[in-house]
Every structure is written in structure tokens, then in C-alpha cells.
Chain A
């Protein structure tokens, strides 16, 4: 059995609940054992680093210190911290790397940790993302051998996001701009993987909160491109990407006058389905842009849940220039 320390991250219990549930549904069949870091705290996302340096790194390092202590308390304790969230993964990896690259930072962070009775020697632990462990430790062959319901005919684009393959301090990925790990994994599940050049383009990150216009354009590019390539579904590895593309797609459509309907699921949800789990066991139905029609193509029936959102108002504003909806475009071509 492969043992790892797990840093779930805040979103795993809230906005990314489907991710957490689907991970729990697949670990057993892959013979993985994840041991949660006891009393872990938030990694600060992309916010704390922009306010203070040493507090931000101390916040991150507390998790590493707790993990190292938990590992040392066991014989043959695990040395790898697995983070399923790309932002958490990057923050943990970054703190570990910079504390070595700039030893003075490591000294100061440890001075702060000492106030809480903790310490962390940078480099003690390996920080890795969930998909890294699945592809390189578990292996695609093992994953393929567990598939009982191949996703044949499911046209899916693999969306890796930006904080996973970049900046890649430990050189873990096949490429910085077009890594193929997610493509390979989805292919192992039998899915019809569509080449997606925007696979590591940004979803807007926190810009949905602070500069929506900037974020909407980034979301539009991703969704429009996936749609043009004939995908019915996007697969992601990051709760922030999922949240932005799923929860803000409606607002993005309003902003541009488009009518995209592009569901986005976590890759672990698709793994769960391929391993024969039922949709509700892997958190399907929790997405706001429903994946019901997409999954019907592979014979997976998702029970109807109440669709949130008021009915769209008819467009009756002043005659302002706006982008055509796809339907209108087709009509015009005729």
C-alpha cells in the first residue's frame, strides 16, 4: 500500500466538494492511503503573498512542519505531501523551494514557527499534486486495469490550468505549456480526448472577484475553444478552475451575450465513473452547469436535480451592439 500525507485545502470541503468525494471514491481501488495532515490551515491562496512576505510563508510552512512532525512520529512514515488543489500545491512547493533557494527566508520562517513550537527543514518532504501521484506512482496501466465502464465516445478536453505545470520547481511535468499527463490519463479511461491548445491557459484565478471583465474574457476563451473543438465536457485538476468556469459561466454568458453550456468536472469524477461508481458517489450533480446531457452520451444517467438560477430574462434593452449567440450565427449563415 502506498502511503501519502494529504493536504486537502479549504475548497475540498466547500466549493470543490465533488473533488473530495470523488477522491475518496477512487483511492481504495488504487491501493492508495491518504493520511490527512492533522489541523492543517489555509495556504493563503494567491492573497497572502501579496500582503506580507514572512507571515505568508510562515502560514504555508506551518502545514509542512505539521506534516513533517506527523511523518517523523511513525516508523517508515510517508514523505510525500499530496495536494489535490493546484494553488495549494504551488504554495506548498514554493515555500519548500524558496526556503532553500534563499536560506535567510528559511531562517526567518523557522523563527516564526518556533513561536508555535514547530520547525521545518526545507527539502524534508516532497510536495506533489494528486495527478502526478496517479500518473507516475500508480501508473496508467494500473488505472486502465480498473476501468469497468470505459468512457468511449465522451468528447472531453483536458484542462490542466496554470499553477500546476508552472513554474515547476522540481521538474515534475512533461511540459510547461502543453503537458500531456491529463490527456494520457483520460485516454486510459477510454475517453475521446480532444487536443486542447489552451490546456494551461488561465481561468482568471481571483480576478472573478476583483476584475470580472478580465476574468470573463479568459473564461470565454477557454469555453469557446472547447466548444468549437466539439467537446461536450471539460476535465480539470483544480478547484479554482472548476469554480471559475462552472459558477461564473452564466455571468460570463450574460456579459458577452453568448449561450455556452460547457460543464466542467474533476478528472477524479470521471475516474470514479470509469471505475463503475454511481454518479452521486463521485459528486456529479454538484456542478452548476449540469453535466447530465454530456454523460448521457456514455449511458450514465444522472438524476435530475433542481437547476439553480432564475429563468433568463428576454433581451429587451436598447438596441446595443452585442456578440451574436451561436444560434443567431447559424441562422445568419443560412
Chain B
């Protein structure tokens, strides 16, 4: 019997390997994502406080996942605009772990280097870099590096705030480091290997 070709592939709307995109995203998401259960009701987009700044509402994004539109999904700013407020998550009638799916899509976009605006990915990466070096977040290092790179024009206006934070002892000049950084490094290195093989 000849192999069935999906209509989406024949029409040039999706690549063969993207037909299981929905499943791939679901499997890469923590917990049981319920992504396959989405009934396209739109409660998520209607509940979203930041939807007006998104390229696609979450509902639309999930339809695109099902259609295998890999590049379009990973280029969408939607996961990056998501503020993780979990309004959609508690309202979703199908209990889709929407916020966690957004985290998965961010990770996939970084991996495929498909994000359009680099502000958010760089912020996440800088933050994680600090944590991987010190074991704690380091706000002053993070903020100065991030603002110099992405919002240099916002810096002058931020000086009073930064000055206030430092003089009030709310922002440490030097980072704090945990005692067993070596242990944390070993754990994270092993975790990264596991991530690649899974």
C-alpha cells in the first residue's frame, strides 16, 4: 500500500517532520500538558492581560501547532509576551498547562534561533548565566548588562531608581555566592546532558 501523505504536506502547508509538532511540544513540556485536548474555545486569549501585544493569541498558536507551522510558531512573540499569570491556566476547560507550553516554546525558539526580538531571550540567558555562576541571582549585574545591551536610552531615566535601590540597600553591589557551587555545577552539567539525550 502506498504511504499516505497528509493533505497538509501535499498542499505544501507543512513539512512531513512537522506533522507531529503538537506531540513534540507536548512531550517537551513539564507535567502532562493536555495540549492535545485543546478545543479552540479561546478562553485563554480572552483571559490574557497581555494579549494585545501578542502576535497570536494562545488559542491561535495552538491551532498553528496542530497545523505543523513550526517556523511561524517559533517566530511568534506570544511566548515571550506571556507574563506567567496563569489566568488562562485556571480558566482552561481542558486543563492545558498553557504557561508551561509557553516555556517550552521559548526553549525551542532559543534552540532553533528563531526568535525575532532578542530582548527577552537575552534577558533569560543573562539571568541564567548569573545563577549558573553564583547560584543566586545578581540584580545589579543583570540589570546593568541587560540595559546596556537592549535599552541604553532607557538608562538615564533609570538612574534615580537605581540610585535609590542601591542607597536603600535594596540592590547589592557585589554578587552573593552559594557555598557549594561545585555541587550545583555538577548537577546542572548532568542535567544538561540528560536534556540532550531525552
Residues of A whose CB lies within 8 Å of any CB of B are 10-11, 13-17, 39-42, 44-55, 57-59, 62, 94, 97-98, 101-102, 105, 108-109, 111-118, 162-163, 166-168, 176-177, 200-202, 204-207, 209-214, 218, 247-248, 250-251, 254, 285-286, 288, 305-306, 308-310
Contacts and interface: CB of A to CB of B under 8 A. Distances in A.
A15 B107 contact: no
Contact of B31 (A62, A102, A109, A285): A102
The contact size tier of chain B is 35 or more
Nearest to B100: A49
A58 B191 contact: yes
Given A62-B187, A209-B143, 11 more contacts: A39-B178, A41-B136, A50-B124, A52-B192, A115-B189, A163-B84, A177-B90, A201-B85, A211-B80, A288-B168, A309-B161
22 contacts: A15-B165, A39-B180, A40-B178, A41-B136, A45-B137, A46-B84, A51-B125, A52-B107, A53-B30, A58-B191, A59-B191, A98-B30, A116-B183, A163-B84, A166-B89, A166-B90, A200-B87, A210-B123, A211-B80, A214-B81, A247-B161, A308-B168
B119 to A, nearest CB: 5
Interface in B114-163: 119-120, 123-125, 127-128, 131, 135-137, 139, 143, 146, 150-151, 154, 157-158, 160-161, 163
B170 interface: yes
B195 A53 contact: yes
Given A42-B136, A50-B103, A288-B161, A112 B190 contact: yes
B158 A14 contact: no
Contacts of B180: 39, 116
A52 to B, nearest CB: 5
A186 to B, nearest CB: 22
A247 B83 CA distance: 18
Contacts of B194: 54, 108, 111-112
Given A49-B103, A288-B164, A42 B135 contact: yes
B41 interface: no
B198 A41 contact: no
A240 to B, nearest CB: 10
B28 A62 contact: no
B172 interface: yes
A211 B80 CA distance: 9
A308 B163 CA distance: 7
B49 interface: yes
B158 to A, nearest CB: 7
A166 B103 contact: no
Nearest to A95: B30
B191 A109 contact: yes
B104 interface: yes
Given A112-B187, A308-B167, A47 B81 contact: no
Given A62-B184, A167-B90, A309-B164, A254 B157 contact: yes
B56 to A, nearest CB: 15
Contact of A116 (B110, B167, B176, B186): B186
B33 to A, nearest CB: 9
B63 interface: no
Given A51-B124, A53-B28, A211-B53, A166 B85 contact: yes
Contact of B190 (A42, A115, A168, A214): A115
B136 A218 contact: no
Contacts of A40: 178
A309 B158 CA distance: 9
Contacts of A205: 83-85
A331 B110 CA distance: 51
B50 interface: yes
Nearest to B104: A53
B179 interface: yes
Nearest to A10: B137
B159 to A, nearest CB: 8
Contacts of A202: 49-50, 83, 85, 87
B198 A108 contact: yes
Interface in B66-125: 79-81, 83-87, 89-90, 99-100, 102-104, 106-107, 110, 119-120, 123-125
